[in-house]
Amino acid sequence: MTTRRPLVDQVGGQLRRAGAVAVVGPTGFGKSQVLDDVCSAWQAAGDPVVRLSSARTDAQIAYAPLMDLFSACPAEVRGELSDLQRSAMDWVLRRVGGPEPDTTTFRVTVLSCLHAWGRRARPLLAADDVQWWGPGSLDVFGFAARRSRGSVSLLAALRPDGPSPHDVLGGGAVEIGIPPLGPQESIAVVRSFGIPLRAAARIHTATGGSPRLVSDIAAGLARAGIPIDALDATPLAPYARHAMRARLADLAEPVRRVLLLAALAAEPTPAGVRRAAGSSAEAALAAAEAAGVVRVTAGAVVFTAPVLREGIVAEAGGEAVRRAHRVLAAASLAADDRAWHAACALGATETAPELVPGLAEAAASARGRGDHIRAAEFGLLAVDRAGGGRPDLLVTAARDAEAAGRFDLARTALDRLIRTRAGPAARARAGFAVLDAAGRGAALLADVAAQALADATAAAEPALVSAAHLRLAWSAHLDRGYPADALIHAEHAVAWAERAGDPAGRAAALTMAARIQQGRGTPDHVDTLRRALEAGAAAEAGADAAAGRDPGGRRPAPRRRTPEQDGGVDPEPHAGIDPGTGHGPNPGQAAAPTPGSAPAPTDHAPEPTRASPEHAHAPAHAPTAAREHAPDPTTAGARIIHDPRRVAVCFALLEDRPAEAERLLAELRPLVGDGNGPADLVRLLGSAVQLHAHTGDGRTAREEAARLVALARDVGASPGPPWYAAATAELAGGTLEQALGYAELGLAASEEETDSVFAAHCLHLSGAVRLFRRDTAGALADLLRVRDLTRELCIGDPAAIPYHADLAEALVAAGDVEAATLTVAEARGRAEELARRSVLAALDRAEALCHAAAGRFPPAEELLTTALATFERLAYPLECGRVLLARSAVEHRRRRPARARESYAAAEAVFRAAGAPLWAPARPERAGAPAGLAGLTEAEQRIADLVADGRGNRDIANSLYVSVKTVEAMLTRIYRKLGVRSRVQLVALVHRELTELGHRDGRRSPNDRPPSSVSR
């Protein structure tokens, strides 16, 4: 279990001040670990520690904790006690026999022992597992604790349902609750076992951050040797069995029976549990809440860790679970709940076709209120009770799972479809749901994407073929080295959607094509997006007409399509769909493709094999309500991600039109309400964070980012984009340290999912933060990787990942002005061609620093003035502040300190007003620089420092990411400025200057150099 340093420091500080501290938390929350760490720190300070430990088996041993105290008591302390007191100690230690001494004798003996010991040292008594102490031990220890404060320090680990801190430590003891692990703490624990971030987030959600559960599950998965990837859906409860049993061990059997009822209810409430369990429910829930298993409010019973809920069911056993379901079926007020429990009360292999319509209606009801997880679960259960088959229900369940972001449930539905006698159309639709639920991990599912295309082709339904190419385009777009393939698949998707007469599919495909074209820097993305928006509007108008709404009325959420557009999963027989096979109309009746009329569907996929006609007869009529609001199975799957308006938001931000981006976001927000599930909200929040960060609203950006990260974690979405958004928000309104931490998490998650696009975004952000923190070498390492990735991805629009100005500044800071100038020039041509105003302004700022480094100050000033004016017109306050910081650096280089301070103060005011961290952590005046080296530039001083450390030219070049030739040229300038002729003289001068500086500052070592600053 990992050390929780802030908590340990808090406990240790309170212990020194107050003398008595109780750490309180449920079993498995790491109380013993906190005690271990506090005791280690106490011993490191030279003070004695006595651990008073107990276990369940010690509860029957009289005065068991006193054995630890008396065994550790020094001989000189024992010598101060009376004969009677020493005899009592020997009785506890079983050194003598005879009758048990009276309680008063024990009280006085312990108190005298503590006072005598306290006169010689400051001992710490640390009591763990106090819930196993007998009443005699509690009485004696509490008596002594109340009277020995000041002589000894007292620390105890207590459970909420155990003895109170007052009884154990006396009045005035400080009580500190042990909180669950935060998401990042859990992730750190889980990743230490080699488990990917997406799976780590799932473990945190399942455990509620319980340290013991987190570490046990991670360790169990590691021991099992199961290969875990980013999309892993391995059940977690079996790996937490030991920790769950320890957590539940002290709960009485009646409490467990009530908890089983609560665990099996979909949304347990105190009232519902009382109806099922009777009068014992209230006391049982109170006991479970005291043990930290549940939280009880007026309207809900919430398990503190969802995996505990699974564990309670698993431990109960099959017959007890079925019996509990029968009780809940009788006690439930809602028809949906009664249907669920009645179906679950049957054996795992029992069929009950008569229950299927009710379960399908319940799925539709859950879907209608936005509970897509529950809808998917109802659908899967309906298939169980139907005895298999029913691909229509499985497809719908897969789509519901995708809408909720539940990759595991979508994959379950697809796997079961593959095992049934389902037709290729049904398999293709379920495959689409799996790919969409994978999010940015879709590149890991190349086999699923290829099979979906093969199935769509075998079904001879153009809309499905279009949808398959759309998913292949998305997967290739994420992975490095395949942008051309991505565009080809997007163009195929457009052609097949046009053949199908499917405006929604055409809109999604054109949106994908526009996204790829924009990244490659081709100007035709504007026209492609316009066509996508027109197609989207046509699809929406058609949906309005089909629903009997006036055009321009409320926007549907999500955009609906007709069964014919869907490729035909209509439950009514007149549509020609067999719910037992999932086949659409006869291929001879479909709009079958003809050679040359559309891109060949096999250009980028294996030759599809037509499925043999397999029929598993099932009821001819699935409930119409079960299909009424189901998410679209073909194009929309990921509805917001391929909505042209969302991509228009991204383009508006890239093209410096934040007002238009905000308007489009306002249009999209109604589409991600209760009817769409959380997956779309995750995608939309990412765009909202970028907008707020662009416009300098750091507070709102951080609020939205926190919501996004929590939501993505809860639904198991790809964690890379949310961590990137969180890093962006921190840079706009938090701290540089936290921004860097989030960017590194985003990079790790993106690399685990082979998402090269967001890996490049995160690297750019981490490189920029390192630049602000004056870590030039780290910044160059990150930004040069961004350059390589964007080249591999064929990203030609400098606004897509605007790293060029940051790379140029890092190169200037490293002393390679020539490379910095070339970087600016290369990016400027494309930025001017595409009219990227903010990119051009950032390049102006970077080029100004290049000029200043070369001593050309008038053009530097002119470029900074232009950059500031541009950013002011765009209303990008943080970028304005960054220009002011660059101006301050230039003025400082020109030896005009008053103007440098003025610009720096203006920049500080800008960042302060926005609530953002200053994007330059040190003031421009280098007051701590050695006087003899003050004439050097920042880059020259850095090289002089490295030479003084004994580094060779090649080593210096490698560490600063510049050429050896650049280092040699800079050393020549350094020699000339300082009047030295050799490397030896330079080293001597640096050490002499630092020694004098150390004497002035009270430093003892010439190696305590001030940090070099970065040219801004």
CA angle 57, 63, 64 (to 5 degrees): 40
d(C-alpha 905, C-alpha 881), whole Å: 10
**Residue 230: predicted pLDDT:** 64
**What pLDDT is stored for residue 54 in this prediction?**
81
Dump the DSSP string for 934-962. TTS-HHHHHHHHHHHTT--HHHHHHHHT-
22: nearest Cα among 164, 138, 140, 135: 164
Determine the Cα–Cα distance for residues 825 and 433; give it in Å rounded to an integer: 45
- Residue in 395, 403, 398 with CA at minimum distance from that of residue 423: 395
- Both tokens of 351, joined, read 């069929």
Name the segment(s) of the chain with CATH classification 1.25.40.10. 673-914
DSSP three-state, residue 682? helix
What is the phi/psi pair of residue 50, to 5°? -120, 120
What average pLDDT does the segment 744-756 reach?
91
Q: What is the pLDDT of residues 526-582, one digit of tens each?
A: 999 999 999 988 888 887 777 676 655 444 444 333 333 333 333 332 223 333 433
pLDDT at 621: 30
pLDDT tens, 701-727? 999 999 999 888 888 888 899 999 999
The single residue listed with the structure tokens 């802030």 is 6
DSSP character string of 224-247: HT----TT----SGGGGHHHHHHH
Two structure tokens written together for 982: 């050799």
Query: In this structure, what are the phi and psi dihedrals at residue 149, rounded to the nearest 5 degrees?
Result: -60, 130
For residue range 204-252, what is the model confidence (pLDDT) as tens digits?
988 988 888 898 888 888 888 766 766 677 788 888 888 888 888 888 9
Residue 4 has φ and ψ, to the nearest 5°, of: -110, 85
- Give pLDDT, residue 229: 65
Beta strands at 294-296 and 301-303: parallel, antiparallel or unpaired: antiparallel
pLDDT, residue 998, reads: 53
Q: For 127-138, what is the mean pLDDT?
A: 86
Tell which wins on pLDDT, 681 or 76. Answer: 76
- Match 């155990």 to its residue by tokens: 162
Tell me how far apart the alpha carbons of residues 242 and 104 are, in angstroms, rounded to a whole number.
Answer: 41
Q: Which CATH number fits domain 4-177: 3.40.50.300, 3.40.120.10, 3.90.226.10, 1.10.1040.10?
A: 3.40.50.300
673-914 under CATH 1.25.40.10, yes or no: yes
Comparing CA positions, the residue from 536, 559, 533 lying closest to residue 546 is 559
Residue 156: in which H helix or E strand, if any?
strand 153-158
Q: What pLDDT shows up at residue 3?
A: 56
Q: Angle formed by the axes of helices 983-1001 and 938-948, to 10°?
A: 100
Q: How far apart are alpha carbons 382 and 361 in whole angstroms?
A: 10
C-alpha–C-alpha distance, residues 793 and 478, integer Å = 9
In angstroms, rounded to a whole number, what is the distance separating the alpha carbons of residues 106 and 89?
A: 8
**Bridge partners of 21?**
155, 174
Which residues partner with 303 through β-bridges? 294
Determine the distance from the C-alpha atom of residue 805 to the mean position of all C-alpha atoms in its chain, rounded to a whole number.
29
Q: Which tokens hold the place of 733? A: 């309104």
Q: Is the pLDDT of residue 449 over 50?
A: yes
Closest of 228, 331, 354, 247 to residue 291, by C-alpha: 247
Q: Positive or negative, the Cα torsion across 674, 680, 686, 687?
A: negative
By CB neighbour count within 10 A (0-12 exposed, 13-18 middle, 19+ buried), where does 574 fall?
exposed
Residue type at 808 in one-letter notation: A
| pLDDT score recorded for residue 994 | 64
Highest mean pLDDT among 334-338, 438-442, 609-613, 676-680: 334-338
Whether 631 shows a pLDDT value over 80: the answer reads: no
- Going by pLDDT thresholds of 50, 70 and 90, the confidence category of residue 630 is very low
Amino acid at 419: R
C-alpha torsion 267→271→273→276, nearest 10: -120
Provide the terminal-to-terminal Cα distance of the chain, rounded to the nearest Å. 43
Q: pLDDT tens for residues 981-1012?
A: 888 788 878 877 766 555 444 433 434 443 33
Q: How confident is the model at residue 451 (pLDDT cuts 50, 70, 90)?
A: very high
- Could you tell me the pLDDT band of residue 627, with boundaries at 50, 70 and 90? very low
**pLDDT band at residue 967 using 50, 70 and 90 as cut-offs:** confident
Angle among Cα 241, 246, 249 to the nearest 5 degrees reads 110
pLDDT band at 2 (very low <50, low <70, confident <90, very high): low
What is the model's pLDDT at position 1? Answer: 47
Residues of the chain with CATH 3.40.50.300: 4-177
Structure tokens that stand for 567 in this block: 């490729």
Tally the C-alpha atoms within 13 A of residue 353's C-alpha that lie toward its C-beta.
10
Average pLDDT, the chain: 83
- From 487-501, 786-800, 932-946, the region with the lowest mean pLDDT: 932-946
The answer, yes or no, to whether residue 592 has pLDDT greater than 80, is no
Kindly state the DSSP code that residue 672 receives in the 8-state scheme: G
Say yes or no to pLDDT of 586 above 60.
Answer: no
Asked whether the beta carbons of 397 and 413 are under 8 A apart, the reply is: yes
Outline which parts of the chain fall under CATH 1.10.10.10. 933-998
Decide if 477 contacts 483 (C-beta within 8 A): yes
Kindly state the percentage of the chain with pLDDT values over 90.
Answer: 45
3-state secondary structure of 657: coil
- Tokens 């190419």 label which residue? 469
pLDDT digits (tens, 9 = 90+) for 171-214: 778 899 888 888 888 888 888 888 888 888 889 988 988 888 89
Preceding amide of 558 cis, omega within 30: yes
Confidence of residue 472 (pLDDT cuts 50, 70, 90): very high
Under CATH, which number does the domain 933-998 receive?
1.10.10.10
Mean pLDDT of 949-955: 82
Q: How far apart are CA 469 and CA 450, in angstroms?
A: 9
pLDDT score recorded for residue 481: 56
What secondary structure letter does DSSP report for 502?
A: -
Task: Give the integer Cα–Cα distance in Å for 443 and 481.
Answer: 12
- Out of 79-83, 518-522, 742-746, 875-879, which region has the weakest mean confidence (pLDDT)? 518-522
